[in-house]
A and B are shown apart, each in its own frame.
Chain A
Amino acid sequence: MTATATPLLAELTVRAEATAHTRTPSCPCGESVTLADRPDATVVRHADTVAKAHAPHTGLRDLAPRLAVAAHLPGILLPPLTATPVELHGRVVTFWPYGTPVDPDMPDAAPWEAAAALLARLHRTPVPPAAAPLPPMRGPAKAADAVARLAAASAGSAAVPHPAVAPVLRAWATLPAWARAEAPMPDTTTLCHGDLHLGQLVRHPAPDGPWLLIDVDDLGTGVPAWDLARPAAWYACGLLPPDEWTRFLTAYRARGGPAVPADGDPWPALDVPARALTVQTAARAVTKAITGNRPLDEIEMSVIDACARMGSLPPQLTPTSAK
């Protein structure tokens, strides 16, 4: 906590410390650490406790059943410390045990097999019965949000649009309505994480307990291939080496994951979600390039190039359900 901390960050730190001391009265009490302070989330750790202020738009009505799922699936999702969120400076706040994340400086140590096994288990788990119904997973809504932000940034910038805007919007236009959050998803019963990336895995108990999924903000029912689609998109864009993609996909299939057929070409099921996440990634990159007035790097260009190729290729026909 620094002198420049916002009121939210300062209060969140106080709450993290208080919760940690309730759990461990003999707390070793090192300094509190700000794990994230972004517009969509502020996260503070004190000892073995983490306090998270969720995105400003987060409604209790949607978050409560998502927290209930995390509490109900302790071997798959990190369970929250408390079932009921509190409110702080207009933000919903939840408390969690600390878990050790994937080291961002060592992505080669990425636990692809563990991630795939957790997703396969999640996708095979029936939606737990709960007081409130679980909303749809937010993958398509997040992609639509990224594209809307790109359109707004482009409209608010120079008279000549950024050259990468058109191929990204054209690729978006190739997608079916459900993938653009304009229609219900073709699968409304499968439990999905909704926002899988390497930052969504922690070992609990820290530092070397089993891997678990975190961040239930986008969790819900939907098309499970969406959870495989980020690694799939990275592989398709030439960024993730084939052997790492193969490890992930093979482990998912070995655990009976229902998002793709057990063998054969997985791309009829992956094509639409992988396109959508490629567009989302490209849209975020171009938005940052426009608003930050900076050039796109080689990695970002490879994602935009993939969007450009999509524009001339209609999506593969997808089965309505891979189950």
Chain B
Amino acid sequence: MQCPKCHAPMHTYNRNGVQIEQCSGCRGIFLDYGELESLTRLESQWSQPAPPPPPAPQAYPAPPAPAWGAPHGGHGGGHYGGHGGHHRHKSFGHMLFSS
């Protein structure tokens, strides 16, 4: 997506399971419905005497991708073949074998 303020491309970041779009130009941040509440909830959990944190869900950082790439892990992108990465979409299966 593009920044509504300066129209530079926005990149998706994952912060504690919350998807955040940040503008690559003015660094402004876009939050979807409910994401501010999720962050507030995480903040309040942080200030409590914390239980031991669960292991990080993502063991390896995603390899670099170009700015025009799909917003990985974000909404509207990251199909990985369509169905959770386990069963490839038929159309992508065909694409893998086509000139």
Q: Taking CB as reference atom, which chain A residue is nearest B62?
A: A242
Chain B nearest CB, measured from A281 CB (Å):
7
A10 sits at the interface (CB 8 A) = no
Contact in complex: A310, B68 (CB < 8 Å):
yes
What residues of chain A lie closer than 8 Å to B96, measured between beta carbons?
107, 110, 197-199, 234
**Separation of A238 and B85 alpha carbons in the complex (Å):** 10
Contact in complex: B2, A266 (CB < 8 Å):
no
**Selected contact of A265 from candidates B64, B76, B79, B91, CB within 8 Å:** B64
Chain A nearest CB, measured from B47 CB (Å):
34
Tell me how many residues of B have a C-beta within 8 Å of chain A: 33
Contact in complex: A300, B99 (CB < 8 Å):
no
Contact in complex: A306, B63 (CB < 8 Å):
no
**Separation of A297 and B95 alpha carbons in the complex (Å):** 12
Residues 282-323 of A contacting B (Cβ, < 8 Å): 284, 297-300, 302, 305-306, 309-310, 312-313, 316
Chain A nearest CB, measured from B9 CB (Å):
6
B4 sits at the interface (CB 8 A) = no
What residues of chain A lie closer than 8 Å to B80, measured between beta carbons?
238-241
What residues of chain B lie closer than 8 Å to A142, measured between beta carbons?
99
Q: Taking CB as reference atom, which chain B residue is nearest A215?
A: B99
Contact in complex: A267, B93 (CB < 8 Å):
no
**Separation of A237 and B65 alpha carbons in the complex (Å):** 9
Q: Taking CB as reference atom, which chain B residue is nearest A104?
A: B97
**Separation of A316 and B66 alpha carbons in the complex (Å):** 9
Given contacts A241-B81, A245-B63, A281-B95, contact A306 B70 (CB under 8 A): yes
Contact in complex: B69, A197 (CB < 8 Å):
no
Q: Taking CB as reference atom, which chain B residue is nearest A241?
A: B80
**Separation of A271 and B66 alpha carbons in the complex (Å):** 7
Contact in complex: A236, B98 (CB < 8 Å):
no
**Separation of A316 and B68 alpha carbons in the complex (Å):** 11
Given contacts A236-B66, A236-B68, contact A299 B91 (CB under 8 A): yes
Among A265, A299, A300, chain B packs the most CB atoms within 10 A around the CB of A299
What residues of chain A lie closer than 8 Å to B65, measured between beta carbons?
235-236, 267
What residues of chain A lie closer than 8 Å to B70, measured between beta carbons?
236-238, 302, 305-306
Contact sample, A vs B, 18 pairs, CB 8 Å cutoff: A197-B97, A197-B99, A198-B97, A199-B97, A235-B63, A242-B72, A245-B63, A265-B64, A267-B66, A274-B66, A297-B91, A298-B91, A305-B77, A306-B68, A312-B2, A312-B7, A313-B9, A316-B66
Supplied contacts A104-B93, A108-B88, A240-B81, 14 more A-B pairs, CB within 8 Å: A40-B99, A107-B97, A142-B99, A197-B99, A234-B92, A238-B72, A245-B63, A267-B65, A284-B98, A299-B82, A305-B70, A306-B69, A309-B68, A313-B67
